[in-house]
Amino acid sequence: MQNLPEVQLAVTALKQKLSEAGRTGRAAKPRVGMVLGTGLSGLTAAMRDAVRVPYTELPGFPLSTVDSHSGAFVLGDVAGIPVLAQQGRCHLYEGYSPAQVCMGVRVMAGLGIGTLVVTNAAGALNPQFDAGSLMLMTDQINFTGTTPLAGPNVEQWGPRFPDMSCIFDPELRALALESAAMLGIRLERGVYIGVHGPQMESPAETRMYRQWGADAVGMSTVLEVLAARHLGLRVLGVSCLSNKNLPDCMAPVPLEEIIAVAGRAGRQLERLLLDMVTKF
């Protein structure tokens, strides 16, 4: 079910906190929002005049129960442009509903963002992709079994049957490839499949996802992207490939390794996004 009143309350509370911390007028109106996944929270360190509002200060905002995610909105300037980051997210596998998983994106839209950057850690299904690389999301498969758009449609968010023929903005994708080439960062292109989790994939599942056309698999992002497209936001998605996920040579992947490798890829992604922000 939809949670418009909760989202509106959280928007009001976030605006209030930002203004109490001195971000008012233009400085309180982000054009760009970012969802920072595992290993990516460092990006906020590059923001100037940043204000951090922990999720605990926003009524009804879901808190991540996963240690690798810190939970706060951070509004700050990158190259003079106000950027709002969602540092840490909650997941379906934690027991949250699709509406809760997408609350951050809807709150950021309530603050006025027009562009959303989503990031995540993912396992590489394409055997040509290396762990530690970045992947530009060209499309997605929602295999979570659910959607944030079920229930009565909230007309002020978007249409009943939103189009998904071109989910990730072609101009932003071209910009990302251009920036990556200029910075000497390897940026693969591929399809992300979002699964419910929390269990990792069996070899049979991994083989099936690859046969379906997916290049990377993860447990987040797809629902937030659906909510963002419903809201009419321009979306850019980048995965940090934290491990190889190949059916014929599968081995357990400890969470510590996923976090460490995603963190290394994340530093490249930070360079990429800092370069791109002024061109959004």
List of residues contacting ligand HPA (CB under 6 A): 121-123, 200-201, 217-219, 242-243, 245, 258
Tokens of 250: 């599968």
Between 2 and 220, CB nearer to ligand HPA: 220
Q: Are 240 and 262 in contact (CB under 8 A)?
A: yes
**Cα–Cα distance for residue pair 161/157, rounded to 1 Å:** 12
Angle between helices 103-110 and 222-230 in degrees, nearest 10: 30
Min dist. Cβ of residue 190 to ligand HPA (A): 14
Min dist. Cβ of residue 160 to ligand HPA (A): 31
Between 34 and 217, CB nearer to ligand HPA: 217
Between 139 and 201, CB nearer to ligand HPA: 201
For the beta carbon of residue 80, count every other beta carbon within 10 angstroms. Answer: 8
**Cα–Cα distance for residue pair 277/71, rounded to 1 Å:** 23
Between 10 and 222, CB nearer to ligand HPA: 222
Min dist. Cβ of residue 242 to ligand HPA (A): 5
Min dist. Cβ of residue 197 to ligand HPA (A): 6
Min dist. Cβ of residue 122 to ligand HPA (A): 5
Burial annotation 54-79 (CB, 10 A radius, 16+ → b, else e): bbeebeebbebeeebbebbbbbbbbe
Between 159 and 198, CB nearer to ligand HPA: 198
Between 201 and 275, CB nearer to ligand HPA: 201
Which residue, judged by CB position, is nearest to ligand HPA in the bound state?
123
Nearest to 40 by CA among 242, 272, 271, 263: 263
Q: Are 280 and 32 in contact (CB under 8 A)?
A: yes
**Cα–Cα distance for residue pair 46/192, rounded to 1 Å:** 28
3-state helix, strand, coil in the chain (%, to 5): 40, 25, 40
Min dist. Cβ of residue 193 to ligand HPA (A): 9
